[in-house]
C-alpha cells in the first residue's frame, strides 16, 4: 500500500476544458462548490477525530470483517479514509452507520460494506491502475487511492465532480486523476486499466469498459434495471479476447446516465 506524504501530495484533475490536464490545481469556471471538507471540519471539536477513528474501527469489525471481507489492504484503506469528511455536514453523525447516505444531486455514498467488498473483488495491488465510473462524493475514490498506484475517476454530474475535486485536493491525494465526463464511455486515452469499478447500475455491460480492461483485468459492475427492487453485482475478468463472469450478490444502486442510457 503506497504511503501518502501530506506535504507533497497533489491531485491531478481534468475539467475537460480543451482536453488538457491541469495538474495539482483545480479550476471550476461555472460553479463555486460548497467546501465539504471545511463544512465537515467545522463540526469537529475536541477529541472528535478520536471518536470517529473508534467508529471506523467498529464499522470495520462489525460491518465488514464480520461479512467476510479479508483483504488486509482493503481493511487498512477503510480504516484510514475519514468517511465523515465525505458526507454533508448534517449527516456527519450518521457517517459510519450500516447503510448509504444521500450526498445530494440524487446520489448516495455507498454502504461501507459495499465499498469494501467491491474493492476487494478488484484484487488490486500497489502497482494497479484503476478506473472508477461515478466519483460521487469521492469516498470510494479515496479508498482505491490508498491501495492502487493510480486512480482515474469519471463523474457525469459537474457539481459532484467539482465538490469531490476540492475535497480530495484538501486531503492531499497525489495519485488521483478526476474528469467530468460520461463514465459509460470510459477514458480510452489512459487505458488499459487493471481494474474498473462502476458505482451505478448499467442496463448491460458497457462495451467500451470491457475494451479498456487490461489482460487479466477485472470489472466490478452492477447490472440490471433501476426499476427493479435490486440488481446483480458481477465481476467480469478479461482473458485475452474472452471474458468470464461471476455473479456476486444482489445490490441496489442509482442508475448510470449518459450515452448508455439513451
What grid cell was written down for 63? 460491518
The closest of 115, 159, 118, 161 to 138, measured between CA atoms, is 161
Establish whether 89 is a catalytic residue: no
Catalytic residue among 89, 91, 102, 110: 110
Nearby residues of 135 by Cβ (< 8 Å), 6 or more positions away:
141, 153, 154, 155, 160, 161, 164, 178
The closest of 124, 13, 135, 113 to 72, measured between CA atoms, is 124
Task: Give the N- to C-terminal CA distance of the chain in Å, as an integer.
Answer: 39
Alpha helices in 130-235 (DSSP H): 139-147, 158-170, 207-211
Q: How many residues does the chain have?
A: 262
Question: What is the residue whose three cell numbers read 465539504?
Answer: 36
Mutual orientation of helices 112-122 and 72-80 as an angle, nearest 10°? 140
The closest of 115, 113, 87 to 101, measured between CA atoms, is 87
Alpha helices in 4-147 (DSSP H): 36-41, 48-59, 72-80, 112-122, 139-147
Distance CA 159, CA 56 (A): 28
Active-site residue list: 110
Amino acid at each position: 500500500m503506497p504511503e501518502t506524504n501530506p506535504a507533497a501530495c497533489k491531485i491531478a484533475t481534468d475539467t475537460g476544458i480543451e482536453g488538457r490536464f491541469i495538474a495539482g490545481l483545480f479550476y471550476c469556471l461555472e460553479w463555486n462548490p460548497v467546501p465539504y471538507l471545511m463544512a465537515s471540519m467545522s463540526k469537529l471539536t475536541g477529541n472528535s477525530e478520536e471518536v470517529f477513528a473508534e467508529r471506523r474501527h467498529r464499522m470495520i469489525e462489525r460491518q465488514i470483517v464480520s461479512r467476510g471481507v479479508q483483504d488486509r489492504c482493503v481493511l487498512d484503506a477503510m480504516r484510514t479514509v475519514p468517511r465523515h469528511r465525505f458526507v454533508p455536514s448534517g449527516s456527519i453523525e450518521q457517517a459510519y452507520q450500516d447503510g448509504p447516505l444521500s450526498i445530494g444531486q440524487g446520489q448516495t455514498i455507498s454502504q461501507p460494506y459495499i465499498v469494501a467488498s467491491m474493492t476487494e473483488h478488484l484484487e488490486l495491488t500497489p502497482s494497479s491502475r484503476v478506473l472508477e465510473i461515478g466519483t460521487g462524493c469521492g469516498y470510494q475514490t479515496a479508498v482505491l487511492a490508498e491501495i492502487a498506484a493510480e486512480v482515474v475517476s469519471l463523474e457525469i454530474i459537474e457539481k459532484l465532480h467539482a465538490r469531490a475535486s476540492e475535497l480530495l485536493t484538501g486531503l492531499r491525494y497525489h495519485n488521483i486523476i478526476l474528469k467530468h465526463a460520461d463514465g459509460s464511455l470510459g477514458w480510452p486515452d489512459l487505458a488499459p486499466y487493471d481494474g474498473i469499478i462502476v458505482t451505478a447500475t448499467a442496463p448491460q455491460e458497457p462495451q467500451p469498459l470491457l475494451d479498456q480492461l487490461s489482460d487479466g483485468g477485472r470489472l466490478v459492475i452492477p447490472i440490471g434495471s433501476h426499476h427493479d427492487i435490486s440488481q446483480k453485482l458481477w465481476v467480469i475478468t478479461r482473458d485475452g479476447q474472452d471474458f468470464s463472469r461471476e455473479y456476486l450478490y444482489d445490490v441496489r444502486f442509482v442508475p448510470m446516465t449518459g450515452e448508455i442510457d439513451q
